[in-house]
Structure 1
Amino acid sequence: MLPSSVSRSAARLSSSGSSFITCATGSSCGASHTRGTGRWLTSTQTCSARRTRGPSGNQFFSFPQATYAYMKAAYLSMLTKDDCLTFGESALTLFRQVPALKQKIAGKSLPTEKFAIRKARRYLAENPIPLPAPPLEMMYIWNGYTVIGKHKDLTEGMLKTLDEAQAKLDSSPRTEFSIDDQCLLSLLKGLCLKHLGHQEEAEHYFTLVLCNETQIKYDHYLVPNALLEHGLLCLEQGRKDEAIKLLEAAKQNYKNYSMESRTHFRIQAALHKAKGTGENGVHVPSSP
């Protein structure tokens, strides 16, 4: 269990006029969000306590029930057991409720809901192996690193949280999830290092995911996304040919993985930029 200090800082992004999700429901709730000094997590727990009665209640706002329950469990899983008592629910109980909360809109489930349900299934085991940093993973799914990465203190706090998760993973017995968890942490650490200006280290972590591709058992979405992030890094450095090669590999070589449409949209946007092609097919200069 990561230390309770994880919950004490907030990611209120007021200085630039931009904003990220202010609570687990994705909208403003009137709770107090203040910038911390060493950690990244928002005061989501305060928000969720004000805005919902849990999966059995009726006050779900922006998110489908499965996604909301997963996110609340994800944040609680980063706290100590004593801190969780404040909210009257345990992360394990909430994680186990997620699959039963699946909903369909026009006969289909939302991609984020399917992702949350798949991740939560790990907790259905009698002795579940916890996810390494589920809120940080969901932040990536929602492109949160692009926003948080503009704030050095918050990015450093996230990196510290990931380092703690890495230390815990290294000290735990090896399981069927170990490689997947390692690759997830590598991808997220690479993103943090990229935004902190440590590009060589970031590239190392993106490459580490690719080196372990054949050993990944469940989180197959990590490989095309590592290629995508590596390609974007190369593009920022002006290495266009290498960037295009990585992006094309991500686009052409991987199918049927979680959040595929989201990843393909980002790949296509990056390819347009790399090739200097505008929306109407007009050649335009590409900025790194």
Structure 2
Amino acid sequence: MNPSSAVNGRQNGVSGMHEDSDDIDEFVDASDKIQYESSLSLLDTIAETQITLNLFLNNKFQMAEDRMCGLADKSMYHALGYSSIKFIRAMMTCERQDLEKASEVCKNASNVISKFRAKFSIADSIYRIGGQERALTETEMHAELCYAETLLARAILTFFSDESLTSFVRGAFRIRNCYQSYKECQRLLNCQSWEGKDEAVKAQFESGTRMGVGTFNLLLSTLPSRILRLLEVVGFSGDKGVGMMELHGSLALNGTLRNPMCRLALLLWHLIASFLVGVGEPDIPLCRQILEPLLQNYPQGSIILFLKARLFVVSGEIDNAIHYFNRSIDAQSDYRQFHHICFWELLFAHSYLQDWKRAANNAKKLLDESRWSRCVYTYLLAIMINADETAPNRLDTCRILLDKIPSIRLRIAGKSIPVEKFCERKAKRFKATGSLLFAHYEFMYFWNGFSILKSNMLLVENILKDIEEQWSRVNSDDKDDESLYLLLKAVCLRTLNRYDDCEKCLLKLVDNESHLTDHFYLIPNAIFELAQLQSDLNRCEDAEALLHRARSYKGYSLETKLHFRIHSAMESLGTRTPMPQ
């Protein structure tokens, strides 16, 4: 399917349903007190949930939650709507208590929805084996879809709660039923006779099925090969191409309940996830097309303004991005934790502009308000203050902050958080050597900041100039500092298409391997960058060999982050581990 045609959309029998833009005034002015009839039809509950979604995207969070809560223990779409609100809140805030509450509500929703699912007798099962299947009702088919959606939300919550291999395995088993439910929905969509059934009901079912199957495939396709092999054992597979095709198919069904959510899913993939779990290759023109209807329907929606800001970031328009992040913050005050996500983005946005004072201010806001990781926020505050050479008592402040890090690290199920372990190692190195050289650019690199800056060469040139000036002043013979300098310089040079100079830096860095005492993680990252360089030069076999070499390194800081990038790069080369059909 042509993505552009999907963005433009088609009605496909859903003209009788609410369009997002038609009822905005009704949504935002709706009474807090909602009267329900004793019995609501399937399309009535879908329409009610659609109104609730519009309330939510217009920052009427509590009103939306109240609208769904009343019948969440009786109606499957109210149960789905209520659990979706809790799920979105958890994704917005990333607070542990919200993640746990969302998991509980999603579990309860699954139980409610299960009551509406098809029940098959022994005779039905025998007839099904023989090719004669009892036709499901519209309610039973939608119950299967809603059940799959709640299970997918629970699976995503599992992955967000813990980055460990154990969590991935646990999540894989948890989504087994989800996988089977979506397969069943897909089979029903393709095989079930829809003759005589309401076209609007079918369109709602198709939109949800395609969105779910697409998201499911996309989510699994991002996992590194070692995780994929474990998933193969229990019968799963993920295909990015299939995922995108299905999501665009859902996107084409305008007017359906899931259409705004499908738009959000695609925007989150291109603008955020592609940088977190890949090498950052967003389709910016497509994002602009997908975002436009959301901006028209929810012009003050904090989530929508945030995504517009993020689109400006990946487009290299950092000043505009800062403006819209601040607008997103000002748009609502109910979900204070969502402000923290904006503070995080503002920290990096100001860093791209080398405005270290404002970057430090946002790190301080995170440290004061967010409970996600005081360790990471303390480290970020220290390295941003250190980068600001005009800051008073700079080194003393950094020393005080970094001394706190070992005592404020978190442990989840007895395990350390990888990024916190990295911060502690850097703090210990500062205590031993007094060096935080390039720590601010190093953190930017590990959060794929240089991939984002590909769209603004002037900013990259300014950073390269700053790196070279700082190195010329230091004149250090410390091989760890030199290696970090070489990596950061090489990344800038590659972005500026100065490939020969980039390769020289990376090869010199790799030659330093036996001399490193702290920054061992730079070697596999340098080899990965060499692979990316070879890929830029269309030397695919050399790139593949280097990626395999980078993947062979074990036990270094932020290893999982690099494995995600290696997996994405290998997929781009067409060398991904074959998956079962």
Q: Which residue of 2 aligns with 1:199?
A: 499
Deviates more, 1:154-163 or 1:269-278: 269-278
How far did 1:239 drift?
A: 0.3
How far did 1:204 drift?
A: 1.2
How far did 1:31 drift?
A: 11
Distance 2:577 2:460 in 1: 31
How far did 1:27 drift?
A: 2.3
Q: How does 1:72-221 map to 2 (within 5 A)?
A: 72-80=381-389, 82-84=390-392, 90-125=397-432, 128-170=433-475, 172=476, 174=477, 178-221=478-521
Paired AA for residue 557 in structure 2: S
Paired AA for residue 184 in structure 1: L
How far did 1:116 drift?
A: 0.4
2:525·2:550 contact (CA, 8 Å) conserved in 1? yes
2:460·2:495 contact (CA, 8 Å) conserved in 1? yes
- CA RMSD, Structure 1 to Structure 2 (Å): 3.4
Residues 102, 192 of structure 1: CA spacing in aligned structure 2 closer, same or farther, 3 A cutoff? same
Residues 213, 100 of structure 1: CA spacing in aligned structure 2 closer, same or farther, 3 A cutoff? same
How far did 1:63 drift?
A: 4.1
1:149·1:192 contact (CA, 8 Å) conserved in 2? no
Residues 162, 101 of structure 1: CA spacing in aligned structure 2 closer, same or farther, 3 A cutoff? same
How far did 1:230 drift?
A: 0.6
Kindly indicate whether residue 564 of structure 2 is the aligned counterpart of residue 270 of structure 1.
Answer: no
Residues 30, 107 of structure 1: CA spacing in aligned structure 2 closer, same or farther, 3 A cutoff? closer
Kindly indicate whether residue 326 of structure 2 is the aligned counterpart of residue 27 of structure 1.
Answer: no
Residues 232, 17 of structure 1: CA spacing in aligned structure 2 closer, same or farther, 3 A cutoff? closer
Distance 1:28 1:239 in 2: 39
Equivalent residue in structure 2 for 1:261, among 549, 557, 560: 560
1:150·1:195 contact (CA, 8 Å) conserved in 2? no
Residues 202, 121 of structure 1: CA spacing in aligned structure 2 closer, same or farther, 3 A cutoff? same
1:74·1:91 contact (CA, 8 Å) conserved in 2? yes
Distance 1:41 1:32 in 2: 11
Deviates more, 1:210-219 or 1:270-279: 270-279
Distance 2:344 2:547 in 1: 41
Equivalent residue in structure 1 for 2:526, among 222, 226, 232: 226
Distance 1:12 1:84 in 2: 32
Q: Which residue of 2 aligns with 1:237?
A: 537
How far did 1:29 drift?
A: 4.1
Query: Which residues of structure 1 form unaligned runs of 5+?
Result: 1-10, 283-288
How far did 1:99 drift?
A: 1.5
Kindly indicate whether residue 312 of structure 2 is the aligned counterpart of residue 14 of structure 1.
Answer: yes
Distance 1:139 1:157 in 2: 15
Q: Which residue of 2 aligns with 1:7?
A: none
1:247·1:271 contact (CA, 8 Å) conserved in 2? yes
Share of identical aligned residues, percent?
29
How far did 1:166 drift?
A: 1.3
2:567·2:576 contact (CA, 8 Å) conserved in 1? no
Query: Which residues of structure 2 form unaligned runs of 5+?
Result: 1-308, 327-338
Distance 1:100 1:146 in 2: 33
1:187·1:222 contact (CA, 8 Å) conserved in 2? yes
User: Greater share of helix residues, 1 or 2?
Assistant: 2
1:40·1:155 contact (CA, 8 Å) conserved in 2? no
Deviates more, 1:135-144 or 1:14-23: 14-23
Residues 160, 279 of structure 1: CA spacing in aligned structure 2 closer, same or farther, 3 A cutoff? farther
The structure with more radius of gyration: 2
Paired AA for residue 108 in structure 1: K
Equivalent residue in structure 2 for 1:45, among 334, 353, 360: 360
2:360·2:380 contact (CA, 8 Å) conserved in 1? no
Distance 1:32 1:266 in 2: 24
Distance 2:556 2:346 in 1: 37
TM-score (norm 1): 0.76
Q: Which residue of 2 aligns with 1:68?
A: 377
1:179·1:215 contact (CA, 8 Å) conserved in 2? yes
How far did 1:62 drift?
A: 6.2
Paired AA for residue 362 in structure 2: C
1:190·1:201 contact (CA, 8 Å) conserved in 2? yes
Aligned residues: 253
1:193·1:202 contact (CA, 8 Å) conserved in 2? yes
Distance 2:371 2:564 in 1: 23
Which consecutive aligned stretches of 4+ in structure 1 deviate over 6 angstroms post-superposition?
Answer: 17-23, 30-33
How far did 1:98 drift?
A: 1.3
Distance 1:98 1:235 in 2: 39
Q: Encode CA deviations 1:5-29: one digit per residue, 9 max, x unaligned.
A: xxxxxx9973728878979x96224
Residues 123, 278 of structure 1: CA spacing in aligned structure 2 closer, same or farther, 3 A cutoff? closer
Distance 1:230 1:198 in 2: 13
1:76·1:84 contact (CA, 8 Å) conserved in 2? no
TM-score (norm 2): 0.40
Q: Encode CA deviations 1:146-184: one digit per residue, 9 max, x unaligned.
A: 1023211211121122112211331x4x4xxx1011011
